[in-house]
Amino acid sequence: MFCMGKKTRSSFQQAANKGEIEESKRDNKLKERLWRGLHSEHLKAATRVSYESSDSFEKLKRKKRLEEEENNPLNATGKTLVNQQSTNDRLKVLDEMLERLKTIEADMSDMKERNLEQKKQYGSYEATKSSDHKSRRKIHQWRALL
């Protein structure tokens, strides 16, 4: 079983947030690292379609976990049963949550851009305001001399 480290995921996420790596490239790199770490040929065969498709890293990871769960030796003894319907329901809910998260991330990115633009505009306003103040002060000094 391969466990993708939180440190690796967080470093990729930080790079994506800073704009150093595109979201799609981050996702592809994470998929590739997960795929290389799979030692079970059965897991590789079961998740190959998801790996080679445009599915997200999260979707591939869920697929891998479900395959591990279904092929768990405890399932054969009857101690743990996997309900396929509930698994599909969980996948649907997780997909919806992932879409919502992507929407929120996009909204946050837009807000950051707007905030940056407003800061730039405010900075130019402050610079103009400062230069106007200097000009008025010079005019006032000249009038005092006259």
Residues 92-137 have pLDDT tens digits of 888 999 999 999 999 999 999 998 888 888 776 666 666 666 677 7
**Which of the two residues, 97 and 56, has the higher pLDDT score?**
97
Question: Residues for the chain: how many in total?
Answer: 146
Is residue 98 within 8 A of residue 56, CB to CB? The reply is yes
Retrieve residue 13's tokens: 């996420």
Predicted local confidence at residue 1, as pLDDT: 38
pLDDT of residue 69 exceeding 50: yes
Report, as an integer, the average pLDDT of 40-48. Answer: 85
Which of 66-101 are b and which e, b meaning 16 or more Cβ less than 10 Å from the residue's Cβ?
Answer: bbeeeeeeeeeeeeeeeeeeeeeeeeeeeeeeeeee
Predicted local confidence at residue 9, as pLDDT: 65
pLDDT of residue 15 exceeding 70: no
By CB neighbour count within 10 A (0-12 exposed, 13-18 middle, 19+ buried), where does 108 fall?
exposed
pTM across the whole model = 0.42
Encoded amino acid at 27, one letter: D
Predicted local confidence at residue 51, as pLDDT: 82
Which of 23-38 are b and which e, b meaning 16 or more Cβ less than 10 Å from the residue's Cβ?
Answer: beebbeebbebbbeeb
Predicted local confidence at residue 109, as pLDDT: 92
